[in-house]
Structure 1
Amino acid sequence: MKPMRSIILVVLLTLGLFMLSSCTRTDAPSESHSIAPSQSTDNTNDTPSATARISFVSAGNEAGFYSVEEYDGHGIVAYIDYATQTQLPLCGRPECRHSDSSCTAYALVENMSIPVLAVINDKLVIMQTEVGSDTLPHISIADLDGSNPQLLCELDSNISISPQLYTDGANLYALATVYSGSGSHLELYRFSLKDGSYESLCSFADGVNGMITSCFDMSLTLMFTRIDEESGSVEDYAQVFHVDTNTLDDPVISLTGVSEEAYTIYNSTLITLDTKDALTATMTFTDLRTGSSVEYKTNALLSASGMNSATLNVFDLWDGWYRITLNGDGKFASFNVNPVTGEFFPMTLYYEDSMNVVLIFAESGNNLLVRAGWDETRDGTTLTNLKPIYALISKDDYLHSVPNYTYIEGLDL
């Protein structure tokens, strides 16, 4: 659960910037011609290399992106090939109906409610985060074309894994909720990608809710909410965990009681807000490595929006750019902002009849994979089919809200 005050500074993904997790040719993708290797270091043991860094897990790489799609009433794994701008089932049989476990695209997510996909070390990782109807939480691993699936590890039924996954190339890191008769608590788990062994690196107090919100170097940033059962008081705070030394720092920020302040963390940047009022608010962007900071006042955005008052959200983009949104009096405005240079551009790439900005799933070089819209099929007023419309767009076009899309040919349903 997101800290209550920081709900106004929401972490985008899935994500991740992007949902780097967890999303028609006549032939299926194969390692030889359409799926390029991951950029991750291929470690051969459980110890990260000397140059290893923690990164948010992506469901793709420079060549393409994996997602779980509904196909004929059930889920299958699909693959978007950037080179051909096509999406197809992760199956090598042209005659396959993708409807039973003989099909790779079907079998990889069979009986999973919300699987999480990741590309790590030239492998496709599939995680079931919680107990299913007849399956336990588990992690499987397969080749990039979906072949040779193997069970990496299986967890107890009292464990649920948060979908925000991070890796150093040799291991996978995630927060887990461990349930017991008296309640539940959070633990930080490390899973070996070599042999599936796992361990708890840190355990947190009962009743604390939280999530891994970002990473930098060999460190994870975690945001928590703690509610005192007797007084009802709420504390929101963030800590940094160093996976190379297994140490947890003291909170980098802590907010208690009723306050207009808020915070969030992206990468190594702590973003604090001194008030929710866009007219007078100052956002401070502080580098957790160096302690250096930049202040950004939001009154110019309010003026450009044409609104008299508004509250604020901030989302990470890339290379020092953020999206800041304003809500007030039933109105909505969004801007892509560089707090260092002061530049900002109105953001107008929204879904039809919606205040939701076009969603980014992944980046590949100078391009972004986005969900540009929805393809709806209706029988009268009844919605009978809904499938995402994927597209590529350059970072510059997205930044300036130019809808210059290269559409992905979707699954043939």
Structure 2
Amino acid sequence: MKKKMMITCTVVLVTAAVILGFVLKNQVRENPDKNTVNVAIGQWGTTQNESQNYWNPDNHAVAKGMGGYYFIQTTDGISKIAFFDETTQEAVAVCAKPECTHSDNTCNAYLCDMKQTGSALYLTDTIYCYNGYLYLIQCEGGMGKLVRIHTDGSARETIADLFANTGVSSISLVFHENDVYAYDDTGHAGQEEEAEEVIKKISLTDGTEQTVFSYTGTGASIDRGRSFGDKLYFVIREYTKNKETKAVSSDYKGLFEYDFATGDTRKVIDADVCDYHADTENQTLFYFVQGTGLYAYDMTQGSNTLIYPAEDELIQCKMSYDGKNLYLFNNGAGRATETKTRTQRYCYVLDTKGNQIAKILCNGVVYFGDTDYLFEENGDNLEYMKKENLSDKSEWIQVN
């Protein structure tokens, strides 16, 4: 499974005088105080469980299906749709053709040959399962296209063009009712000029699209999109480079909320929020402020509590919540002030009070998982771990 390309190219220093422009359907309303929370996430709607919020949203390499999990398996450069059966604990190609070798386009599971330059490719760590279909992104002619595929691989349909893309796994999707909201989570990181970042709303019925959010900045991107209740949540990030020290830093500009019904967008936390998750049953928002730590905001009482302070090996993170525990993956980031600084990769497992249950050594990007499994990348291989009795000594198992 291809590791997501990390952007390390040069960006210019953003000075205090730079004005970041917002172009919205309605004006963004910002909180006046740092780390002030102004959010009220409703209970999940009837389709909310389909959104599978527990996955890593910007490395969405695994999707939950009936009886197991879909992912893209790459062997000797050949990429195909595979299914990890949770009963047998084995992976099979999503193709029922007898005596099929799963190695060319006669196979229902076949996606592409990564060795064939110039041919249409699929993003190999981006797959979604929503309302009985698989959704993947195909790159052809420099354009990323949304493709709907039957779960047995028998039929495919191109829905719409998304963003310019030449094979970098940077396009992320959030599904809600009969629409999908798409953004490019790499954005214009590394560029020296201001550029516009957008969220597109695309109909799953006819492919029509409209821009519902726009942000203009230097080295900016939109990240961590999730839907809860009747809202879409996301963060905005900017990269800057110190001309003297050459250090590249990643700065987050707050947590934003887009209302599906009204089209309004507002900032709900004005802090350096790198990721977040919601416990909608207990009306609690968990969010991690880069360099500070994990907060729990009780929406019923209006209280905001730091429940797990940042530490040397956890200064920023990607998060997941499975209805019981929180999972914080440090992504190997060593310091918030310099993105090139690396440390050992760990996934911290916490209860909702902030008590550490386990600190798990990781081999690559953690994709998180549902109530039963954790998944991670290890080169081209997918690995899993049963969530029962997690401990510091829990070991990853390669999917065969």
TM-score normalised to structure 2 length: 0.64
Summarize the Cα distance change of 1:295–1:389 in structure 2 as closer, same or farther, 3 Å threshold: closer
Distance in 1 between residues matched to 2:78 and 2:197, nearest whole Å: 32
Instruction: Name 2:120's counterpart in structure 1.
Output: 111
**Is 2:159 the partner of 1:167?**
no
One-letter code of the match for 1:105? A
Gaps of 5+ in 2: 1-5, 12-43, 114-118, 279-283, 336-341
Summarize the Cα distance change of 1:324–1:95 in structure 2 as closer, same or farther, 3 Å threshold: closer
Instruction: Name 1:258's counterpart in structure 2.
Output: none
Distance in 1 between residues matched to 2:288 and 2:45, nearest whole Å: 33
One-letter code of the match for 1:73? G
> 3-state SS of the aligned residue for 1:65?
strand
Q: With a CA cutoff of 8 Å and minimum separation of 6, indicate the structure with the bigger relative contact order.
A: 2
Match of 2:151 among 144, 150, 157: 144
Count of residues paired in the alignment: 318
Distance in 1 between residues matched to 2:143 and 2:226, nearest whole Å: 27
Task: Quote how far apart the aligned CAs of 1:144 are.
Answer: 0.8
Task: Quote how far apart the aligned CAs of 1:92 are.
Answer: 1.7
Distance in 2 between residues matched to 1:247 and 1:88, nearest whole Å: 44
> 3-state SS of the aligned residue for 1:397?
coil
Instruction: Name 2:350's counterpart in structure 1.
Output: 337
Larger mean Cα displacement after TM superposition, 51-60 or 78-87: 51-60
**Is 2:70 the partner of 1:77?**
no
**Is 2:106 the partner of 1:102?**
yes
Instruction: Name 1:199's counterpart in structure 2.
Output: 210
Instruction: Name 1:153's counterpart in structure 2.
Output: 160
Task: Quote how far apart the aligned CAs of 1:211 are.
Answer: 1.5
Instruction: Name 2:394's counterpart in structure 1.
Output: 403
**Is 2:287 the partner of 1:271?**
yes
Q: What do residues 159-185 of structure 1 show as CA deviations (whole Å, max 9, x unaligned)? A: 999433211231111214899xx8631
Task: Quote how far apart the aligned CAs of 1:246 are.
Answer: 0.7
Greater strand share, structure number: 2
The question of whether the paired residues in 2 share the 8 Å contact of 1:139 and 1:153 is answered with: yes
The residue correspondences of 1:245-394 to structure 2 (distance < 5 A) are 245-254=262-271, 264-267=275-278, 269-271=285-287, 273=289, 276=291, 283-287=294-298, 291-296=302-307, 298=309, 312-314=315-317, 315-319=319-323, 321-323=325-327, 335-340=348-353, 343-347=355-359, 349-351=360-362, 359-363=366-370, 366-371=371-376, 387-388=380-381, 390-393=383-386
Moved >6 Å (runs of 4+): 158-161, 231-235, 325-334
TM-score normalised to structure 1 length: 0.62
Distance in 2 between residues matched to 1:390 and 1:368, nearest whole Å: 10
Task: Quote how far apart the aligned CAs of 1:403 are.
Answer: 3.3
| Bigger Rg, structure 1 or 2 | 1
Summarize the Cα distance change of 1:288–1:185 in structure 2 as closer, same or farther, 3 Å threshold: farther
Distance in 2 between residues matched to 1:249 and 1:242, nearest whole Å: 9
Q: How big is the alpha-carbon RMSD for the aligned residues of Structure 1 and Structure 2?
A: 4.4
Larger mean Cα displacement after TM superposition, 239-248 or 208-217: 208-217
Task: Quote how far apart the aligned CAs of 1:369 are.
Answer: 4.4
Summarize the Cα distance change of 1:69–1:335 in structure 2 as closer, same or farther, 3 Å threshold: closer
The question of whether the paired residues in 1 share the 8 Å contact of 2:143 and 2:164 is answered with: yes
Distance in 1 between residues matched to 2:232 and 2:375, nearest whole Å: 26
Instruction: Name 2:22's counterpart in structure 1.
Output: none
**Is 2:124 the partner of 1:120?**
no
Match of 1:222 among 234, 258, 274: 234
Distance in 1 between residues matched to 2:94 and 2:321, nearest whole Å: 30
The question of whether the paired residues in 2 share the 8 Å contact of 1:266 and 1:316 is answered with: yes
The question of whether the paired residues in 2 share the 8 Å contact of 1:212 and 1:220 is answered with: no
Q: What do residues 9-29 of structure 1 show as CA deviations (whole Å, max 9, x unaligned)? A: xxxxxxxxxxxxxxxxxxxxx
Summarize the Cα distance change of 1:143–1:84 in structure 2 as closer, same or farther, 3 Å threshold: same
Q: What do residues 332-390 of structure 1 show as CA deviations (whole Å, max 9, x unaligned)? A: 887532352x532342x325xx6x69x35432xx411434x85xxxxxxxxxxx65253
One-letter code of the match for 1:345? I
Summarize the Cα distance change of 1:330–1:166 in structure 2 as closer, same or farther, 3 Å threshold: closer
Q: What do residues 43-65 of structure 1 show as CA deviations (whole Å, max 9, x unaligned)? A: xxxxxx97444834762224111
One-letter code of the match for 2:258? F
The question of whether the paired residues in 2 share the 8 Å contact of 1:139 and 1:152 is answered with: yes
The question of whether the paired residues in 1 share the 8 Å contact of 2:73 and 2:82 is answered with: yes
> 3-state SS of the aligned residue for 2:72?
strand
Summarize the Cα distance change of 1:339–1:367 in structure 2 as closer, same or farther, 3 Å threshold: closer
> 3-state SS of the aligned residue for 2:388?
helix
